Structure 1
Amino acid sequence: MLRIASSSIARQSVARASRSASAVNMPGVVSFHASSSRKEEEETKDVTLSKGGFMNTGYSEWLALPIGMATAVPVLSFDWYVVNEETQLAAAFVAFCVIVYTQGGDAIHAALDENAKTILKEQREDEEQVIDAMEKLIVSLEGQQENPEIVKEMNAMRLEAYKKMNEAGAIKPKHDLKVQVERMLNMIAAEEASNSEKTKTALMEECAANVSKQFASDKALKKSALDAAIASIKGTGSTDPVKGAFVKFFQDKSAQLAKVKDDTTEKDQRVALLAKANSVAENEGYFFRFDDKGVPTLV
């Protein structure tokens, strides 16, 4: 249908164009005058003579109904316009548009307008927040500008504090090392004292056992010890055989140890002491460790 209508309109346009072309090719007489142009006069005349109504004739628009019906009869009879499915589709689309416009136009407009108002409100709130933040920033900056001397003093105090911290940082490791060395020396001294006490205790136990065995097996020693005790009570004074036995044991023990060159026990004690010292240094985070020879080295 639309193709047929388009063909009819195209044929009419070609015929109209041919007539206008012949009119344009004809030479005309052009005259000059100072009055307004004909086009302006026609526009002014049209505006002035516009009466409204059907096609500006002043008649009612209802006149278009019989004219349309009278025009539709030859148009449909001569197949100038063929009514088919395209016409029905166009009519349905126009009806849909009219219904949407008349029935839902206000609702759509209200929804879009409400959405626009919401967006505008949110935008204004965001702008107000930004403005408030900028105003607070301006007040803060103005306050900082009013107190430049305070800022300078704070910077000077900060630099002085950094300087003192650097000086303290240079001294503190030395002080920490001194404290660590003192703690390690105290620990070594305590360990050596403990080993010495253990050795003394072992020697005394061995000496007491040896002397007790001698006096238990020798009757002469028992008698001399008894006589010495009685003389001591009487105050006459005499040589104490028990004391002599103890002294003799230690003298013999010293001579025996002087002859023996086995220092395994001392080495074991030294290794155990160094292991304990390194363990303490590791756990406490000391700055030094001991090597196998007992020499401290920084780590």
Structure 2
Amino acid sequence: MNQFQYVRATKPQAAIEAVAKDPNARFIAGGTNLVDLMKRGVMTPQKLVDINRLDLRKIERQNNALRIGALALNSTVADDRQVRERHPLLALALNAGASPQLRNMATVGGNMLQRTRCPYFYDTALPCNKRQPGSGCGALEGINRMHAIFGFSDKCIAVHPSDMSVALVALDATVQVSGPKGNRSIPFADFHRLPGDTPEKDTNLEPGELITAVDIPDGPFTKHVHYQKVRERASYAFALLSVAAALDIDNGTIKAARLAMGGVAHKPWRLTAAEQALIGKPATEAIFRQAATVAMQGAKAFKHNEYKLRLGPNIIVQALKTAAAA
């Protein structure tokens, strides 16, 4: 690991200024992803600005929404009474992620910013446009069984690894950030980026911007929800595919729906067309299968991940069936 400078910030503005002034500086909180990347030489920041002393851990109601501070721990959020009662889908997704030990360290902001687990990104001896722009994408012609089927480009086919983010995009969350130019709000659907020609850019954050909170608006999705995750082992594994499903059902009819997938794109993948296909329809397996077909339109596989084209609609149906029966 390269040498680096370590400083602690006690106020948000001080942290923002420290990072904004130095292009080689990074914020650090739980460090569950950044430290691993530093150990492997994938990221080599020359300065770490510790933000753990900032007052960004509260979970509280504000303006018909639940505001979750960026430094709230994943385990704390998953166990919080307000989260479990008002947004149980988020609790389910958080508990599906990583391991209890990591959830006790990882923060909400850090979870959103975690980088892909693509092996070509992690191995500095292999080509990766995300790690070294212009070097090529080793996964395109390599082992790509974990990789994208939506929204990829010829520069990158990596997927975003966060379970929490799949639930947040389904719940129409908004990200609150502060930076050198002041405060702004980013709809969660616009927070992460598709790779395009700049796969090294994971998010639409500007230099020096700090995530301060995530707002989840009130909604009807307090009962019929499910987070379906398919992985290679029961815990401490990233999703091959995942689905966040939430339904508002009245007398057997779907009044509103939210669907999103993980493990399929460079960002959490919202299935808006499939949601529309569900509204006003009965909550039956036949309708769920129709919606799953809509959801998979435009998907394209590579040599080693064709199974996702078959697995995808099946787990969408399973997630919807389980949500409807909740």
**TM-score of the two chains, using structure 2 as the length reference:** 0.14
Larger relative strand fraction = 2
Higher gyration radius (CA): 1
Q: Which has the higher contact order (CA 8 A, sep 6+)?
A: 2
